Amino acid sequence: MWSVFNKEINSFLNSLIAYLVMGVFLVSMGLLVWVFPDTAIFEYGYADMGIFFNLAPYVLMFLIPAITMKALAEETKSGTFELLMTKPITEFKLVMGKYLAGLVLVVISLIPTLVYYFSLSYLGNPVGNIDSAGIVGAYIGLLFLASAYTGIGIFASSLSENQIVAFIIAVFISFIAFIGFSSISDLAFFANSGMQIEKVGMLAHYDSLGKGVIDLRDVIYFVSVTALFLSATFWVLKLRKWNS
Amino acid sequence: MSILVRDLTKNFGSQTAVNNVSFEIKKGNIVGFLGPNGAGKSTTMKMITGTLPADSGQVEVDGIDVALQPLEVKKHIGYLPEHNPLYLDMYVHEFLRFCGGIYGLSGKKLKNRVSELVDLCGLKKEQNKQIGTLSKGYRQRVGLAQALVHDPSVLILDEPTTGLDPNQIIEIRNLILSISQDKTVLLSTHIMQEVQALCNRAIIIKEGKLVADQAVSELTEEKEKFTIKIELEKHADLSFWTTHQEVNSLKLVTETEYLLEATRDIRKDIFKWATQNDVDLVGISLEKGNMEEVFHKLTQNN
């Protein structure tokens, strides 16, 4: 598993896409949080990172599929998947290696945003007047969300040997899973079951973690979503082998 | 028994790709696996390596059942797939380390093994290049190195020399010969000379069925006719021999070379006749039947 993990990290860091994706993420987050007047913290006037945590899920919705799209699609297309299957590595380990590598890359692109926290803490009046606990909770929420997105991305990558198709499927599933359920629960038709439907989606759980309260139910929710998509990937690979 | 295949069958939909194939390969043999395109060679090889599940039948490698312990079997097999898929953006060194890592090699052991393979497969100059920039011959070497990284006892090579130029073919062949000293090798190929040059046994399949499984020398041995090649110092008339009752035909190949087909090995008689008639013989030899003819005879559709 670790050899696959290392290989993924290396090949990603050796390619231009990695720096492009991270650069685009950091530049767009920086602009949204600090510069664009509609959303910038300076206009808002409070030493609060809420705007970052509100927007990050939408940016990650595109960033993570861009990282994961080639994970399995390219292996299938170039035939190296067949090569891997002749080696003593199980589908499970392969999927886990790819998933962990994807997650670590997302974490690497999130680390520079910690600067936001320190800047804000310094800008606060008095200095250091910032809701640290809330921000830690929100970061944890963001990590869990990123983990679920990565699982979805790996799953989408197993469905097609075309990276673009994998990307679009991943963005679509992530979108539906994140806000689709809470939006649809607003329909008058679901007036009675709205609460339950909203809980199926990731937004409700992400918001609840973002308040700085680490609720075990939310943690279990995100871990389950990740596990669900990773095991779906495992079965896609298994079925493809049996049907070949 | 290194490789044991028993009643192996595989269907793709209504088409039977491999039909009840059985064979055994003893340790240390190099066996050629032949057949027309689409005969089921690659499918059989994939089933032996455990990448493709068989519909029925049994495969054992070093006494381990592939269906029951696929991971264990994979540790005993080195496999070079048909189109030699490689990570084109990886460096040769990096790729071999990655492959070794999958087999659980690490640290100093892995490092030593990789440099050993680089030496063995003649990749010294290329080891720090990206695989994508290598020529096909070198990629094939990387593919072989990859198959050898864990020092497997069984090597399965699917068309290792396809698409290479004649020099590269010889290089790869020599490489296969040098690494196969203590290993069992099953290799598929379309080049019949290759079988004669490398293998001590040939297994031929046609439309998924086994049609021959014999030593190469037995396969090419001609029983009913003897073809004798006669080389002369300068042109001479050998038409005398056409009247000989044991001679079927006499053919002038070049000015000084004849091919004579007889029902018996009559080389001694020709030699005597030549000395008596003052014909300068420079060579006389019995031609072996070639693998191509055998292959054609066994696999053509009637």
In tens, the pLDDT along A69-109 reads: 988 999 999 889 888 888 888 889 999 999 999 999 999 98
Answer yes or no: do B53 and A79 touch at CB < 8 A. no
Chain B residues whose CB is inside 8 A of the A7 CB are 87, 90, 98
In this predicted model, what pLDDT tens digit does every residue of B41-94 receive, in sequence order?
888 998 898 888 888 889 998 888 988 888 888 899 999 988 889 998 889 999
Q: Chain A interface, mutation test: which of B12, B43, B51, B96, most A Cβ atoms within 10 Å?
A: B51
Query: Nearest Cα to A48, choosing from A113, A140, A145, A117?
Result: A117
Q: Is residue A26 over pLDDT 70? A: yes
Q: What whole-number percentage of chain B has pLDDT above 70?
A: 97
- The DSSP H or E segment spanning B119 is helix B107-120
Tell me what pLDDT residue A34 has.
86
pLDDT bin (cut points 50, 70, 90) of residue A244 is low
Residue numbers in B near A84 (CB within 8 A): 102
Q: What pLDDT is attached to residue A100?
A: 94
**Nearest of B40, B11, B54 to residue B208 by alpha carbon:** B40
Residue ranges per domain, chain B?
A: 3-220, 226-293
> For chain B, what percent of residues have pLDDT higher than 90?
7
pLDDT digit string, tens, across residues B106-149 = 889 989 999 988 888 888 888 888 999 998 888 988 998 999 89
Give the minimum alpha-carbon distance from A55 to chain B in angstroms, rounded to a whole number: 34
Per-residue buried b or exposed e for B130-147, using 16+ beta carbons within 10 Å of the residue's own CB? bbeebeebbbbbbbbbbb
If one compares A36 and A174, the residue with the highest pLDDT of the two is A174
pLDDT at A43 over 80: no
pLDDT score recorded for residue A104: 93
Q: Count structural domains, chain A.
A: 1
Is the pLDDT higher at A192 or at B224? Answer: A192
Residues B188-212 have a mean pLDDT of: 84
pLDDT > 80? residue A188: no
Q: Do B51 and A85 make contact, defined as CB atoms within 8 angstroms?
A: yes
Model confidence at B171, pLDDT cuts 50, 70, 90, reads: confident
Choose from A32-41, A166-175, B81-90 the range with maximum mean pLDDT: A166-175
Model confidence at B170: pLDDT above 90? no
Model confidence pLDDT, tens digit, residues B17-37: 888 889 998 888 889 888 888
Confidence band, pLDDT 50/70/90 cuts, at residue B222: low
Q: Greatest CA span in chain A, whole angstroms?
A: 66
Q: Which residue has the higher pLDDT, A53 or B1?
A: A53
Instruction: Enter the CATH code of domain B3-220.
Output: 3.40.50.300
Write the CB contacts of B267 (distance below 8 Å, at least 6 apart in sequence): B228, B284, B285, B286
> Can you give the pLDDT at residue A156?
95
- Cα-trace Rg, chain A: 19
Tens-place pLDDT, residues B232-245: 888 877 777 777 77
Q: Can the peptide bond before residue A126 be classed as cis, meaning omega within 30 degrees of 0?
A: yes
Nearest by CB to B85, from A2, A7, A80: name it: A80
Computed over every residue of chain A, the mean pLDDT equals: 87
* Least Cα separation, residue A72 to chain B (angstroms): 13
Out of B50, B86, B102, closest to residue A3 by CB: B102
Decide if A243 touches B, using CB distance below 8 A.
no
CB proximity B88 to A under 8 Å:
yes
The predicted pLDDT at position A142 comes to 92
* Residue B224 confidence (pLDDT): 65
| B89 reaches A (C-beta below 8 A) | yes
The CA distance from B58 to B63, in Å, is 11
Q: Which residues pair with A138 in a beta bridge?
A: none
Chain A positions touching B98 (Cβ under 8 A) are: 3, 6-7
What is the extent of the structural domain holding A164? 2-243
From the candidates A87, A237, A242, A244, which should be mutated to test the interface with B, based on the most B CB atoms within 10 A? Answer: A87
Average pLDDT, chain B: 84
User: Domain B226-293 in CATH: superfamily?
Assistant: Alpha-L RNA-binding motif (3.30.70.1560)
**pLDDT at B152 exceeding the cut of 70:** yes
Q: What is the pLDDT of residue B11?
A: 87
Higher pLDDT residue, A182 or A175?
Answer: A175
How confident is residue A230, by pLDDT bands cut at 50, 70 and 90? very high
Select the highest-mean-pLDDT range: B123-137, B222-236, B276-290. Answer: B123-137
pLDDT at residue B190, as a whole number: 81
First CA to last CA across chain A, in angstroms?
25
3-state SS record for chain A = CHHHHHHHHHHHHCCHHHHHHHHHHHHHHHHHHHHCCCCCHHHHCCCCCHHHHHHHHHHHHHHHHHHHCHHHHHHHHHCHHHHHHCCCCCHHHHHHHHHHHHHHHHHHHHHHHHHHHHHHHHHCCCCCCCCHHHHHHHHHHHHHHHHHHHHHHHHHHHHCCCHHHHHHHHHHHHHHHHHHHHHHCCCHHHCCCHHHHHHHCHHHHHHHHHCCCCCHHHHHHHHHHHHHHHHHHHHHHHHHHHHC
Chain A CB contacts of B87 below 8 Å: 7, 11, 78, 80
Q: Does ipTM exceed 0.90?
A: no
Residue A193: per-residue pLDDT: 75
* pLDDT over 80 (residue B294): no
